[in-house]
Amino acid sequence: MGNQWAKIIQENTGTFADHTEYTTPNLEFDYVDLDPDLDMGNQIVHTSGYSIKRRHWLNALGGRLRVNNYAAGDNIGELLKSIFGDYSLFDADPCFRHKFEPLDAGTAWTLYDYDDDIPYYRKFQGLQATRFELNAPARDVASVIWEGVYADEAQVDMGVTSMGTLPSVRPFVFHDGSVSFEAAQAYAESFRVSITRDVPEDSQVMGHRARQYMLNEGFTITVECDLQLHSWENLRRYYGGSAQTTPQDEDEEVAGVFTLDGPSSGGAGEYDQHKLLFNFPVMVITDHKTVKTRRDRKVERVSLEAVYSANNYVYLYNTKATYAAA
């Protein structure tokens, strides 16, 4: 892949149409996949007089972008802020605890795609996050999929641009993870947390091809877990109560905590490791499947969705002092 890297930096949403950048937060990072998709709004239509389409023009402008990467303590903070909208800091130098919560207000970002083999870099502007998905698979490292929609893009002469310091903390791995329901440890093999934010892509106004304003709608937070099957407790919760043995007329709320611990952070106590923790105290089981293969392989797949709670949050512990815009 050569000298290819990316940078993401927050924009001032008060000047969204101008894509004015802050100095911080920003992150230069390597990646596994970077997949932009520009839509020029081409329209090619049939008219009378010809059997083949003759008329063509350009309509609304916009694009989508997808990043696939390993998930570590030092390369996902900006991505979490972009999907949630903001964060709060618990100071415990040299390790810091950052708290991300679902907020109505969103943030806009610029992403730079650098490549030493090409003299121009691509600059994606007015980028709003639509999906953050953390995958912690069995017997593997954790990965993140981050997606967004952007308003406009440009090519800029690389000049003497050089690659900065890229993230270097070891990614989270499955054997340092844990899942608990109602404060009881589950026999988890893997889990996936998906946080999506609805961002209308058709919010153009007359006089402009590209979007000029930010619109943010609702969140959807879902979790899917593969667990070793040791009891029917989660199936009973799906029935409507952990003590129920038949399907009920009302569902049951379940508290879930999903954690990945990383390498040492140099801190002490609660702050001694890089860590990623998802806390969703009010969840509903939306699907339950049991898979039995061979005599010794019994797994249950539990799908859940978080509903409103003032305590829905994500904690990220790392050595970065701030994600504040400045």
Going by pLDDT thresholds of 50, 70 and 90, the confidence category of residue 295 is low
What pLDDT is recorded for position 158?
79
**Please, what is the average pLDDT of the chain?**
91
Asked whether the beta carbons of 102 and 214 are under 8 A apart, the reply is: no
pTM higher than the cut 0.75: yes
Q: Which helix (H) or strand (E) holds 235?
A: helix 233-239
* Domain spans in the chain, listed from the N-terminal domain onward: 4-43+59-156+169-318
State what percent of residues in the chain have pLDDT above 90.
Answer: 70
Going by pLDDT thresholds of 50, 70 and 90, the confidence category of residue 1 is low
What pLDDT is recorded for position 58?
94
Across residues 280-291, what is the average pLDDT? Answer: 95
What pLDDT is recorded for position 16?
73
Q: Is 57 exposed, middle or buried (0-12, 13-18, 19+ CB in 10 A)?
A: exposed
What pLDDT is recorded for position 143?
97
35-44, 155-164, 194-203, 287-296: range with highest mean pLDDT: 35-44
Going by pLDDT thresholds of 50, 70 and 90, the confidence category of residue 207 is confident
What pLDDT is recorded for position 242?
85
In b/e form, how buried is each residue of 81-115, taking b as 16+ CB within 10 angstroms? Answer: bbbbbebeeeeeeebbbbbbebeeebbbbbbbbbb
Across residues 314-321, what is the average pLDDT? Answer: 95
Q: Is 160 exposed, middle or buried (0-12, 13-18, 19+ CB in 10 A)?
A: exposed
Pairing of strands 184-185, 273-293: unpaired
What pLDDT is recorded for position 9?
95
Give, in degrees to the nearest 5, the angle at Cα 112 between 106 and 116: 165
Dist. CA 183–CA 259, nearest whole Å: 12
Asked whether the beta carbons of 311 and 278 are under 8 A apart, the reply is: no
Going by pLDDT thresholds of 50, 70 and 90, the confidence category of residue 24 is confident
| Torsional sign, CA 134, 126, 122, 115 | negative
What pLDDT is recorded for position 293?
78
Dist. CA 33–CA 160, nearest whole Å: 25
Q: Who wins on pLDDT, 159 or 127? A: 127
In b/e form, how buried is each residue of 132-157, taking b as 16+ CB within 10 angstroms? Answer: bbbbbeeeebbbbbbbbbbbbbeeee
The answer on pLDDT for 160 being more than 80 is: no
What pLDDT is recorded for position 2?
61
What pLDDT is recorded for position 89?
86
Dist. CA 106–CA 84, nearest whole Å: 7
Q: Who wins on pLDDT, 251 or 291? A: 251
